[in-house]
Amino acid sequence: MKVPIDLQGDVAEVLVSEDQIQAKVLELGARISADYAGRQLTLVSVLKGSLPFMADLMRSITVPVRIDLMEVSSYGGSSTESSGLVRILKDLSASIADEHVLLVEDIIDTGLTLNYLVRYLRGKSPASLRICTLLDKPARRLVEIPVDYTGFTIDDRFVVGYGLDFGEFYRNLRYVGVLRPEVYSTPPVADAGPAVEPGPPGDPVAPADTGA
Ligand code: IMP
């Protein structure tokens, strides 16, 4: 049965407000600008979840930046665990050799996707490689990853908004929130595209095998 999505009404709790996000983006931008003073930077972000963060963060950085986008998809895992096997759907558009690179992420959960990406990008011989994430869920970490810039550390809860999705929806919320439990028990379905399997709150790859 199709359940209509109620963008705001489906949210049970706002975890990080729009004001908190915007203040944090300015703070991170100032730190990054100071750390890279006198240099230029390549921001690499991962579609689709990091888009709003990338768009806001790049405008709060005052050193020259160029941007590049990758798209990856997890595969081979169950519906509740990321496998760490990553398929690259869209690669970098330009060389990052000898460039200072900052990988911009929406959220780090198990860390498996990021672990793969870091190794992949290191193989491209950047001058330096750092990581910036808006959200961090350290409780679920399976691989240790040194994160240089963290926006908010959150509990082990499945969140949506500000780029993060459930069943590809809710990305356009201006805040980060938690959906009402009944939303997770019924897959959100749109008229276009296949229905997706629901995942429980806390599920790192719910729904499975979609772009991040
Ligand atoms: P990891 O490989 O387990 O760290 O998973 C990272 C990716 O899983 C993120 O880039 C998101 O696309 C997705 N993800 C993890 N936690 C959440 C969440 O709470 N909400 C939405 N997507 C999530």
Averages of pLDDT over runs of 10 residues in the chain (212 residues) are: 85 98 98 98 97 98 98 67 80 98 96 94 98 96 95 96 96 97 74 42 42 56
Is residue 72 assigned to a domain? yes
Is residue 71 assigned to a domain? yes
User: Domain range for residue 64?
Assistant: 19-155
Is residue 141 assigned to a domain? yes
CA of 205 to the centre of ligand 1 (A): 6
CATH of the domain at 117: 3.40.50.2020
Q: What are phi and psi of 12, to 5 degrees?
A: -85, -35
212 near 73, Cβ under 8 Å? yes
For residue 76, what pLDDT is reported?
A: 59
Is residue 1 assigned to a domain? no
Mark whether 106 is an active-site residue: no
Is residue 203 assigned to a domain? no
The finding on whether 45 has its CB within 6 A of some atom of ligand 1 is no
Is residue 73 assigned to a domain? yes
Is residue 48 assigned to a domain? yes
User: In testing the pocket of ligand 1, which one of 75, 83, 107, 135 has its CB within 8 Å of the most ligand atoms?
Assistant: 107
For residue 193, what pLDDT is reported?
A: 41
CA of 109 to the centre of ligand 1 (A): 5
Residue nearest atom 22 of ligand 1, based on CA coordinates: 164
pTM: 0.87
Query: What total number of domains does the chain contain?
Result: 1
Is residue 11 assigned to a domain? no
CA pair distance 178, 79, nearest whole angstrom:
19
The finding on whether 207 has its CB within 6 A of some atom of ligand 1 is no
For the CA atoms of 182, 11, 52, 111, what is the dihedral angle to 10 degrees?
A: -50
